[in-house]
Structure 1
Amino acid sequence: MLSQNGNDGSLKDINVKGEVVFCERGMEISRLDQGKVVKAAGGGATLLVNQEQEGFTTYTDPHVLPASHLSYAAGLNVKHYKHNL
Structure 2
Amino acid sequence: MNILLTKRQKEIISKLRVSDAGANAIAFDNLESRQISMENIEILCSLINAELMMEGIFPNFEPNKYGIELENLLDVINRPRIGS
More helix as a share of residues? 2
Structure label with greater radius of gyration: 2
More strand as a share of residues? 1
Task: Give the TM-score of the pair, scaled to structure 2.
Answer: 0.30
Task: Give the TM-score of the pair, scaled to structure 1.
Answer: 0.29
Q: Which one has more relative contact order, counting CA pairs under 8 Å at least 6 apart?
A: 2
